Structure 1
Amino acid sequence: MPELTHYSGDTATWQPDILGEGYEQLTLELPNGAPATLVRYSPPGGCRPDAADVLYVHGWSDYFFQTELAQYWAKAGMRFYALDLHNYGRSLRPGQSPGFTMDLTEYDDDIAAALAAMGRPVPAVKGETVEEAKPVRPLILVGHSTGGLTLSLWAARHPLAASALVLNSPWLEFQATELGRKIISPLIGREAQRRPLATLPPVDAGNYSRAVFSAFGGEWTYNLLWRPLRGFPGTVAFLNAVFRAQAAVADGLDLGIPVLVLLSDKSYLQPRWSAEAGKADVALDVEVVAHRALSLGNSVTVARVPDALHDVFLSAKPVRRRAYAAVDRWARGYLPAAPTAAPELQAGAQSISS
């Protein structure tokens, strides 16, 4: 567990962020020696003192640059934060292996440090006998792809910490289905012990970048060192960590909070470019993920967004509007019933829909 007293939320430690006005970043030193970075968005006028906290975690070969997403939550009156995990994005340092991890639970330290910097109490782990500190504000977790998988398991291990979970195309199951994962997992596990940094054959044909990056006609511009056109080289250690996490989801997480899972209505998993790739998830089998989402808990809403990309909030503008509308509908039904502060969340949901 990181030394939490260092992260007091003192504004003197925050620095201007690369995203410009309203965005600041804070370096979080972690026990493993590799820092994480917390980004916060503070729009003019700020937010209510009792507003909910939103913490966003990115996916594989990614970092936080989705300013529209931050503005969406801020307009709802929420405090928005995003975490660049260690070995990713703003946190990536020379000599590090991008995205490297042996287990997704390694990110517990990143999340704990982020929550402390946000002024939140240290969440109790499932099964601890210590009394849980009362949260100062509701916490809404938002995760994309591998970040969604990471946050799902984190929420299961810290059952009193979060009020709701929003997952944007979470990597909950292997593209080749559960059977494929079970067949491959033993081999990957052995290799992860022998050669953790061994790289896997590339599977990204560049279709995703072609659909979103501005140089190819997409809407978005980002740092190609932090989000390469064909992704980081995958390691056997990383895939083993993902497989183990997916196996835990398959066993059932029994989350006691409302969960929203946003997915495209179709996948395009072919190696060559097609116009279909610009209106589909090119990374995951959305049918497999939709089925596996039911293993998260008893209150799971799966919203299929027609023509959405893998990152639903990087889709074409009409598609993004449909995605935000889906969050609105879900928020009106579920956020008011969040366990720690129904009135505050109800006000936020009403703002979202306006």
Structure 2
Amino acid sequence: MTSTPAAASREYALIANGTAIAMTEFPAPGKPPLVLLHGIGSRGSSWWPVVDALAGDFHLYQLDLRGHGASGKPEHGYAVEVFADDLQSVLEALELEQPAIMGHSLGGLVTLYWASQHPAAASALVLEDPPLHTLPEILPAFDGWIQLASLTPEQAAAWYHQEYPHWTLDDCQRRAEAITGTALGVFADLRAASAQALELGDTDRTPILAGVQSPALLLRGNPEFGGMATLDDAARFQEFLPHGEVVEITKAGHGLHRDATERFLEIVVPFLQRHTV
């Protein structure tokens, strides 16, 4: 069960590109800043499994991406580049210098796009199973997410409980509230972008790595359990970033910080401690 973090926090909103971005801050004066970006159809609280373990060493900023959670939900405008612009606006508003950025899935892509436009602006980057290539199977995945997001929270929770019987009822409810609370435009816009990339054969996102100068860690999940970052992604990552680190967590799929929390922290915390001040 994912419980509410014990660490003290405060909630507020910032305006980024005309859209309210909801923020939960876990203050730790004197500790290095760490910004947490969640995946598609999720929200900032998806990081709760690791918040208390991180809050002692880092000043955490857990935000809801536009279209998600308590953030603003414009009808459209959900390109990865827009999310990255939002991140820059948030960092400027918070006056954060050399923060570490940790992104899961879509949040990892946003982190990379931002880092490619702001070389060396981050002390460290942690990329949790981001899809660095657009694969054909992503289109039916988007269709499934749209169907889920169109349900009531109760209907979605029942679906999660049926599909993932090892999840607690509370976790099913939290996941259902997150996806049904996501603007449908998020899925529609990103699906359209993926369909266009597939049609044009422009499916390789790894060239954005060429602009990244910050120390970076790529975490891969096991594809047999739903991991999305491929072996080719890892190879291209190290081709562009020879000093980047790649670790595969074999006992979990896409949600590494949730499904393999202890192993995730064993890898991530030392990496961040080496590169943050």
Partner of 1:307: 251
Q: How does 1:43-192 map to 2 (within 5 A)?
A: 46-48=28-30, 51-65=31-45, 66-75=47-56, 77-93=57-73, 96-97=74-75, 100-120=76-96, 135=97, 138-176=98-136
Partner of 1:255: 212
Q: Residue type of the partner of 1:325?
A: E
Unaligned segments of structure 2, at least 5 residues:
149-158
> How far did residue 84 of structure 1 move?
0.7
Partner of 1:237: 189
CA distance in 1, matches of 2:165, 2:129: 16
Is the 8 Å Cα contact of residues 103 and 111 (structure 2) preserved in structure 1? yes
Partner of 1:276: none
CA distance in 1, matches of 2:247, 2:188: 32
> How far did residue 174 of structure 1 move?
2.2
> How far did residue 303 of structure 1 move?
0.8
Q: How does 1:26-45 map to 2 (within 5 A)?
A: 26-32=12-18, 34-42=19-27
Given candidates 176, 179, 200, the residue that maps to 1:224 is 176
Is the 8 Å Cα contact of residues 65 and 71 (structure 2) preserved in structure 1? yes
CA distance in 1, matches of 2:216, 2:44: 22
Q: Does 1:23 pair with 2:9?
A: yes
Unaligned segments of structure 1, at least 5 residues:
1-17, 121-134, 185-198, 269-279, 345-354
CA distance in 1, matches of 2:253, 2:115: 25
CA distance in 2, matches of 1:21, 1:109: 29
Q: Residue type of the partner of 2:81?
A: T
- Deviation digits for residues 139-187 of structure 1 (CA, Å, limit 9, x no counterpart): 11100001101111110100131011001111211234xxx99xx9xxx
Q: Residue type of the partner of 2:55?
A: A
Partner of 2:164: 210
Distance 1:81 1:207, change over 3 A: same
CA distance in 1, matches of 2:94, 2:168: 33
Task: List structure 1 segments (4+ residues) > 6 angstroms apart after TM superposition.
Answer: 18-21, 203-209
Is the 8 Å Cα contact of residues 173 and 292 (structure 1) preserved in structure 2? no
Partner of 2:264: 323
CA distance in 2, matches of 1:296, 1:88: 31
- Deviation digits for residues 113-153 of structure 1 (CA, Å, limit 9, x no counterpart): 32134332xxxxxxxxxxxxxx3xx3111000011011111
Q: Residue type of the partner of 1:142?
A: M
Is the 8 Å Cα contact of residues 109 and 132 (structure 2) preserved in structure 1? yes
> How far did residue 58 of structure 1 move?
0.8
Partner of 1:281: 226
Q: Residue type of the partner of 1:24?
A: R
CA distance in 2, matches of 1:86, 1:144: 15
> How far did residue 36 of structure 1 move?
1.2
Partner of 1:201: 143
CA distance in 1, matches of 2:118, 2:186: 29
**Secondary structure, in 3 states, of the residue corresponding to 1:89?**
coil
Question: Where is the helix percentage greater, Structure 1 or Structure 2?
Answer: 2
Q: Residue type of the partner of 1:54?
A: L
Once superposed, what is the RMSD of the aligned Cα atoms?
3.7
* Aligned-pair identity (%): 17
Q: Compare CA radii of gyration and give the structure with the larger one.
A: 1
> How far did residue 240 of structure 1 move?
4.4
Q: Residue type of the partner of 1:29?
A: I
- Deviation digits for residues 202-260 of structure 1 (CA, Å, limit 9, x no counterpart): 37996796267422xx8575162322499968745313445769644246424222111
Q: Which has the higher contact order (CA 8 A, sep 6+)?
A: 2
Is the 8 Å Cα contact of residues 28 and 114 (structure 1) preserved in structure 2? yes
Kindly tell me the number of residue pairs found equivalent between the two proteins. 255
Q: TM-score, normalised by structure 2?
A: 0.75
CA distance in 1, matches of 2:256, 2:132: 16
CA distance in 1, matches of 2:184, 2:226: 18
Q: TM-score, normalised by structure 1?
A: 0.60
